[in-house]
Homo-oligomer: A and B are copies of this chain.
Amino acid sequence: MRHVAALAGVGVKTVSRVINGEPNVSAATIAKVEAAARTLDYQPDLHAGNLRRADGRTRTLGLLVGSVDNPFSGAVHRAVEDAALARGVSVFASSLDDDPDREQEAVSAFLRRRVDGLILTTISESQAYLAPELRRGTPVVFVDREPAGLTSDAVVSDNSDGAALATRHLLEHGHRRIAYLGDRHDIQTARERHRGYLDELGRAGVSTRGQQVVEGLHDEATSRAATLALFDVPNPPTAIFSSQNLVTIGVIRALRELGRQHDTALVGFDDVPLGDLLEPGVTVVAQNPQAIGRIAAERVFARLDGDASVAARTIVPTRLLERGSGEIAPRAEG
């Protein structure tokens, strides 16, 4: 800026005025400054300005997701970005791989960079460590998973309800041996989905005792192996409820290998790419990551604009997409 001022033959403050479009600068001066700025390819330093600026906003947002190459996370990210773009806000994204240590580090990295707000998919047991930051006025919105040890806005799917919906769908198609394949138990949504599954069995008066329940699955490989193991017992399940997209994919692979994709029902939680093009099509309880991301970003901006209402939990509905795999009838018993 000093250089631009020198080249234009004006003071730095005048350059600042022109750059920021402040009033009361003569047309001739504006022209001189703009010419100088163009000549020097000047880009103002937003961070330096921020140091002094009244509102102290960096026009920056921090987003924490499972992994930026997971389709669910990607959709959330894109929705957040679109909302941010309209306000000239840039987005930092970080992948957690559901590792609590990475969460702490990433949040800390964001705070040191003075992001205006945080949108988080948490994995740590408690987010109480964010309380001071929240008090300081940084909006924090949780997506996909609800916070623990802290009260703040959250935008989530109805996990237990969605899981119950999936389970009911299988029950209605006559299944009584419905295996549950789930993610790690330290993930809140996984627990919720597990609960929804158990509750629905209970409501239907179906014993939860005889059901095969496998938790702790986190990727395609472990899920595939677990599915293969399901069929190593005398009375294998006639239906499977898989509680996460990567788990669902592992199940599909295993069923193909066993040649059982047409005689074992499957409903997944969270949509699977091209799920409608597989044979059979994959019946899923689909979430709405676009809406989740958009609403979360809107919450953050509303808070920044002064909305001081109490923290709210927004539930984004899930939807059952019947595509074939969930409508397979139970095998006739031997």
Contacts and interface: CB of A to CB of B under 8 A. Distances in A.
A275 B249 CA distance: 12
A45 B75 CA distance: 31
A55 interface: no
A328 B252 CA distance: 24
Contact of A112 (B45, B67, B68, B109): B45
A116 to B, nearest CB: 13
Nearest to A261: B277
Interface stretch (A22-30, A91-99, A174-182): A91-99
A308 to B, nearest CB: 21
A91 B62 CA distance: 10
Contacts of A60: 113
Contacts of A110: 90
A148 to B, nearest CB: 19
A78 B93 CA distance: 10
A252 B277 contact: yes
A94 B61 CA distance: 12
A47 interface: yes
B69 A95 contact: no
A58 interface: yes
A149 interface: no
A324 to B, nearest CB: 13
Contacts of A58: 47
A267 to B, nearest CB: 17
Most chain B C-beta atoms within 10 Å of own C-beta, residue among A45, A111, A114: A45
Nearest to A50: B47
A41 interface: yes
Contact of A278 (B78, B249, B274): B274
Given A69-B71, A74-B74, A92 B94 contact: no
Contacts of A45: 112, 114
A146 to B, nearest CB: 23
B41 A133 contact: yes
A205 interface: no
A68 B88 CA distance: 18
A24 B62 CA distance: 35
Contacts of A48: 47, 51
Contact of A92 (B50, B51, B91, B133): B91
Nearest to A293: B69
Interface string A269-294: 00011100111000000000000000
Interface in A52-76: 58, 60, 67-71, 74-75
Contact of A41 (B78, B132, B249, B277): B132
A46 interface: yes
A216 interface: no
Contact of A108 (B43, B91, B92, B111): B43
A77 interface: yes
